[in-house]
Amino acid sequence: MTSGAHRKVVTVLFCDVVGSTALGESVDPEALQGLLARYFERMSGIVESHGGSVEKFIGDAVMAVFGVPVAHEDDALRACRAAVEMRDTLPELGVEGRIGINTGEVLAGTEERLATGDAVNVAARLEQVAEPGEVLIGAETLALVGDAVDVGEERLLNLKGKSELVSTHPLVTVHHAAERSHASAFVGRQRELQQLVESWDRALAGPRCELVTVVGDPGVGKSRLVAEALEQIDARVLRGRCLSYGQGITYWPVIEVVKQLAMLPHDEAAAKAIRSLLGESEAVAGTDEIAWAFRKLLEEQAPLVVCFDDIQWGEETFLELVESTALLSTGAPLLLLCMARPELLDRRPGWPVTLRLEPLPREEAEALVGKAVSEEVRERIVRASAGNPLFVTEMLALAGEGRDVEVPATLRALLAARLDQLDDSERRLLERGAVEGELFHRGTVQALAPEETEVTPRLAALVRRDLVRPDRPMLPSEDAYRFRHLLIRDAAYDALPKATRADLHRRFADWLADHGQSLVELDEILGYHLEQAARYLGELGRPDDDLAEEASSRLAAAGELARWRGDGMAAHSLLGRAVKLVDQPDIQLEIAFAMSHVAARDADRLLEEAARRADSRADAGGAALARGLAAQMRLWTGEGSIEDAEELGLAALPLLEEGQDHVGLAQMWFALAFGAYNYACRFEQIVHAAEMARSYETLAGRPHQRSDGLRALGLAYGPRPVGEVLLALDALDSTVRVDLARATLLAKSDRIDDARVLVRAAAEHARELGQAAQPDLAEIESLSGHHDAAAEQLGLWLEWEREHGITGNLAFTLAWQGRELALAGRFEEAEQRAAQAREHPGSSPGTQAYWRQAAALVNASRGEHTDAERLAREALTHVHQTDSPEGQADAYCDLAEVLEAAGRRDEAIAALQEALERYERKGIVPLARRVRERLEALQPA
């Protein structure tokens, strides 16, 4: 038997005598005393006979609790049976009474011994409003006892101290629950087992990757089914499990699998990403690089079966990794075998589910029970388990320990009943392990229970009881144990008082900070435990600002790393939790949280709020940074101007320099490059800003993937010659954005075949990483003279932009597609695109030029030469605001087309010569050759 304070779900009963005051007036005091003594004795006897305990007598009232000190799986039903017996006994004593019953969580086992909590108060209120001779039960009690009772019509009561109406029913009778019918509700396991084996056969025959997900309620037998299937599969099996507290802990199951492989991919870029994932390098790989590298590693080590358990806890980035591995893997026999609770489908309705596991039919439940118990006990277990294998095995464990097996009201009640059978030391260790999580280490238990001198023997006893099992440790020089079911962990943890949880979480974080340096996601885990401690203390009215600040700092560090890595979902979750923990968040934290939003409009609003708070704290640098970033965000929503974005961004720089805010400077320079300068098509300024961002990233210890990609963009489309830019790109690490820029440059230097080879590989990599390569593909198709293909790629890019909410760039893509359609001779479609782009008057110079060029070509095809020339020359005015020789040359070519159509040959030749000079200066060989051919055709014979 265990002792000490615990949170428990119990059923509370109050019984009181009706009219005791009047009774005192009509009965002799000595006779009344005897009557009440018999009343208390009889009521106490009934309560105790049903396994309850009398907590106290209050006047004429009896307060009883079912579930203290030892829980039973059917405490609510026992309370109802006791209440009916008490109700029927009261007339025999010559008195009337009323009874109230309610179920809920209380704190029990304190020095005062009495259970305390809202459940107690509600039970007392129900007794007070019951009619004489009536038993009222609360909704929670009725939900537990189900069809084991008959009740009257529902009453909604306005009880003192409750903000909402309370549902209650008069209890009429109690009886044994009707036997459940399993005939039509369950399916056999043999077919499902065969499906898993056949999935592996298909993977081998392909060879290909098969994704199989087994979904079912807790304890329904997912793990057992998978284990049985693996017995029939001759393959190497790797396992990973999502932690129950996986917010922000994106890659924990992936790391488990990678460590079991103990190999790196042969591809150096993939190996680099895996090293980053494992924390073995200073480099920070993006989420898409990690997914790609993980897939490459599995393909190289195939054939493999990879089991991921409890994926309902997985972060979105992890789920996307699993899906992309299944979709994109080719030529390698792989089976991804996932297990999940139904909550996964609430989050991801489109998740590919192969098996929906239902409870066992009666025959299989009987076979699972076996013949180790009597026929009577077996029948009781089969009825009570409702085909849930976890119910079966847990009840068998109780029966094996000589305990009586009753019908459990809920799985939680069943597990609570089992935990109450442990002695104090065993339960204490189990609860300390539960604080760490489903997997815990011996060192954790020892640190959180320093008074225990026999930790290892106690843990061995828990293994023998089949509550935990040895497992592979995540920490060096440690033994690890895993709860046999997550629900056992939850039951042990939920029983701890919040004050105890807070203390244990804080102490565990202190211990892990010293012993968990090898963990890749240490900040996420420490942040979680500190956050839990702070939250519980806050709920108890004892907030600890220093603790909350420490938790926020850890979560913020983890969130920032995820943001720089490109894991937006995890970053948003972690940074959001960090912000909520502190009343006055640091301005950098507020800005980081704002920039983690996928929707630019949300980022704009949050950044403006951060700026106002920075003003109130006289933080000029922080306010300027927030406003500068907000201005860049407004460009991408189509609500801002280049001038404002540049002005506010530049204004922030000297203030950030004064404060030596290297992170802020890196962010602001990058935002200027990606926002104002990119939008304005001022490519040399993009290069300069990207280089400045990179220098501050170095000082701040941040990775360079983003700034290098922008620098490559600026170099590729700016005024520097193609040959010089190719040499410059050779000095940068090979990333998707750099490779795509290199491919377009190869096409510009007339190495079309080389460009196509590189762009196909880079585009495939980009697709795997969830990035857009369509603009680069369109550029190469256009350089090759395939304008239909270019327009098709731009149509795909439009879909991608809309899907990702990049509304401020739609006009540019529409205008560019309009020009490609016009060059392909598809003038009606070109006119539509130009009109759509024209609706954005505040668009960038590139947009303003492109839609006019498209419209000019359309008008020229119809003989509307005056309008065509006007539009073409307006386009030149806009494109001269940029420093793109290619863009200017394109505009001159289109002007030449318009002039030639109007019969103005000499002016057309002059325009083509302007275009040729710019193409040659940039080094765009195929377009320069095309212009020379046109010039030769226009020259007089």
**3-state secondary structure (DSSP) of residue 535:** helix
Q: What is the pLDDT of residues 138-172, one digit of tens each?
A: 998 998 888 889 999 999 988 877 878 999 999 99
At position 632, the amino acid (one-letter code) is Q
**pLDDT value at position 617?**
85
Whether residue 69 has a cis bond before it, omega within 30° of 0: yes
Q: Is a pLDDT exceeding 50 seen at residue 196?
A: yes
**3-state secondary structure (DSSP) of residue 12:** strand
- Say which residues have a Cβ less than 8 Å from residue 835's Cβ, sequence separation at least 6: none
Phi and psi, residue 804, nearest 5° = -100, 10
Residue 96 carries which DSSP code? -
Angle at 139 between CA 102 and CA 341, to 5 degrees: 110
Q: Are strands 61-66 and 6-17 parallel, antiparallel or unpaired?
A: antiparallel
219 or 425, greater pLDDT:
425
Name the residue among 562, 518, 525 with its Cα closest to residue 439: 525
- Say which residues have a Cβ less than 8 Å from residue 797's Cβ, sequence separation at least 6: 772, 774, 775, 778, 813
Q: In this predicted structure, which of 60-64, 247-251, 314-318 has the lowest mean pLDDT?
A: 247-251
**pLDDT value at position 402?**
53
Q: What is the pLDDT of residues 367-379, one digit of tens each?
A: 787 777 788 787 7
Chain-centre distance of CA 46, in angstroms?
Answer: 51
DSSP, residue by residue, 735-789: -HHHHHHHHHHHHHTT-HHHHHHHHHHHHHHHHHTT---HHHHHHHHHHTT-HHH
Name the residue among 5, 3, 7, 2 with its Cα closest to residue 495: 7
Residues pairing with 106 in the sheet = 8
- Torsion angle of the four alpha carbons 280, 282, 284, 285, in this order, in degrees rounded to the nearest 10: -50
Name the residue among 289, 264, 261, 287 with its Cα closest to residue 275: 264
Helix (H) or strand (E) holding 240: strand 236-241
Longest dimension (CA), the chain: 138
Residues pairing with 156 in the sheet = 167
**Cβ count near 851 (within 10 Å):** 30
Name the residue among 565, 584, 689 with its Cα closest to residue 632: 689
Length of the chain measured in residues: 941
At position 133, the amino acid (one-letter code) is G
**3-state secondary structure (DSSP) of residue 4:** coil
**pLDDT value at position 70?**
77
* Cα 148 to Cα 368: distance, rounded to the nearest angstrom: 26
Residue 208 carries which DSSP code? B
Angle between helices 600-616 and 587-595 (to 10 degrees): 170
* Cα 574 to Cα 717: distance, rounded to the nearest angstrom: 37
Is 122:112 a contact under the CB 8 Å cutoff?
no
Name the residue among 432, 436, 401 with its Cα closest to residue 418: 401
Q: What is the pLDDT of residues 99-116, one digit of tens each?
A: 999 998 887 766 555 566
Q: What is the pLDDT of residues 704-760, one digit of tens each?
A: 888 888 999 999 999 999 999 999 998 888 888 899 999 999 999 999 999 999 988
Q: Is a pLDDT exceeding 90 seen at residue 673?
A: yes
Q: What is the pLDDT of the chain when averaged over all its residues?
A: 86
Tell me the pLDDT band of 407, cut-offs 50, 70 and 90.
Answer: very low
**Cβ count near 26 (within 10 Å):** 9
Is 649:672 a contact under the CB 8 Å cutoff?
yes
Is 865:878 a contact under the CB 8 Å cutoff?
no
For residue 116, give both structure tokens.
Answer: 């305390």
Chain-centre distance of CA 651, in angstroms?
Answer: 37
* Cα 745 to Cα 749: distance, rounded to the nearest angstrom: 6
Q: Mean of the pLDDT values across residues 357-376?
A: 78
Q: Is a pLDDT exceeding 80 seen at residue 805?
A: no
- Torsion angle of the four alpha carbons 852, 850, 874, 893, in this order, in degrees rounded to the nearest 10: -100
Is 212:355 a contact under the CB 8 Å cutoff?
yes
Residue 882 carries which DSSP code? S
Is 250:315 a contact under the CB 8 Å cutoff?
yes
Name the residue among 103, 99, 94 with its Cα closest to residue 34: 94
Is 51:72 a contact under the CB 8 Å cutoff?
yes
* Cα 828 to Cα 817: distance, rounded to the nearest angstrom: 12
**pLDDT value at position 109?**
67
* Cα 806 to Cα 74: distance, rounded to the nearest angstrom: 56
* Residue 905 Cα distances to 96, 256, 348, 853, 940, angstroms: 114, 71, 62, 19, 10
**pLDDT value at position 405?**
55
Chain-centre distance of CA 897, in angstroms?
Answer: 54
Q: Is a pLDDT exceeding 70 seen at residue 386?
A: no
Phi and psi, residue 418, nearest 5° = -70, -40
Q: What is the pLDDT of residues 526-549, one digit of tens each?
A: 999 999 999 999 999 999 999 999
Q: How much of the chain, in percent, has pLDDT values that exceed 70?
A: 90
Tell me the pLDDT band of 197, cut-offs 50, 70 and 90.
Answer: very high
Q: Is a pLDDT exceeding 90 seen at residue 842?
A: no
User: What is the residue whose two structure tokens read 């950030």?
Assistant: 656
52 or 853, greater pLDDT:
853
Is 562:315 a contact under the CB 8 Å cutoff?
no
**Cβ count near 282 (within 10 Å):** 9
**pLDDT value at position 52?**
87
Q: Residue 278 burial (CB < 10 Å; 0-12/13-18/19+)?
A: middle
**pLDDT value at position 244?**
57
* Cα 859 to Cα 865: distance, rounded to the nearest angstrom: 7
Q: How much of the chain, in percent, has pLDDT values that exceed 90?
A: 51
546 or 313, greater pLDDT:
546
Helix (H) or strand (E) holding 331: none
Is 887:844 a contact under the CB 8 Å cutoff?
no
For residue 259, give both structure tokens.
Answer: 């460590």
For residue 456, give both structure tokens.
Answer: 């290892």
Name the residue among 676, 672, 636 with its Cα closest to residue 811: 636
* Residue 520 Cα distances to 309, 665, 677, angstroms: 20, 27, 37
Residues 693, 694, 699, 705: is their CA dihedral positive or negative? positive
**Cβ count near 59 (within 10 Å):** 9
Within 434-492, strands assigned E span 439-441, 468-471, 480-483
* Cα 497 to Cα 489: distance, rounded to the nearest angstrom: 15
